[in-house]
Structure 1
Amino acid sequence: MNTEKFLELLVEELELENPLTLASNLKELEEWDSMTAMLLIGVVSNEFGKTLSAEDIKELTTVQSLVDKIGAQQFS
């Protein structure tokens, strides 16, 4: 999956009103709450087979930090 498709997937799955960039701060999203965090964990698990912990979610800042946590090699 390339990063553009990943950004589109996040917008769709997290039901965001605005597009994302790699620089978007996850915690500053109007829609960000504990349910959105759980949805994010599910998206990453389903798409990449990687499990994010609550601690991982706390450490995330930007979409780029999420990409880094998943592993840049997963993106083309």
Structure 2
Amino acid sequence: MKKVDFISGLAEELEIETTLESATNLKDLDEWDSMAAMVLIGYVSNEFGVTLNADDLNEITTVESLIERIGLDKFN
């Protein structure tokens, strides 16, 4: 999956009305709450087979750090 497609899909899943970029801090978004975190976990699991846990969510800040946690090898 291309990073741009992932970011676009993530914005759609989280119902984010602003433009997401690699440097966007997820936790600063108005839409970020516990439900958004659960949607994020489900989206990443469905698309990449990667399971995020609470520690991962605490460490992930930006979209880029999320991509790094998923694994750069999973993006083309």
Q: How many residues align?
A: 76
TM-superposed deviation, 1:29 = 0.5
Q: Does 1:60 align with 2:60?
A: yes
Paired amino acid for 2:55: E
**How does 1:1-76 map onto structure 2 within 5 Å?**
1-76=1-76
Residue 32 of structure 1: SS of its match in structure 2? coil
User: TM-score w.r.t. structure 1 length?
Assistant: 0.98
C-alpha distance in 1 between matches for 2:11 and 2:61: 16
Give the unaligned 5+ runs of structure 1: none
Moved >4 Å (runs of 4+): none
Paired amino acid for 1:4: V
C-alpha distance in 2 between matches for 1:75 and 1:4: 10
User: TM-score w.r.t. structure 2 length?
Assistant: 0.98
TM-superposed deviation, 1:19 = 1.4
C-alpha distance in 1 between matches for 2:68 and 2:11: 18
Paired amino acid for 2:8: E
Q: In percent, how many aligned pairs have the same letter?
A: 57
Give the unaligned 5+ runs of structure 2: none
The root-mean-square deviation of aligned C-alpha atoms, in Å, is: 0.5
TM-superposed deviation, 1:49 = 0.3
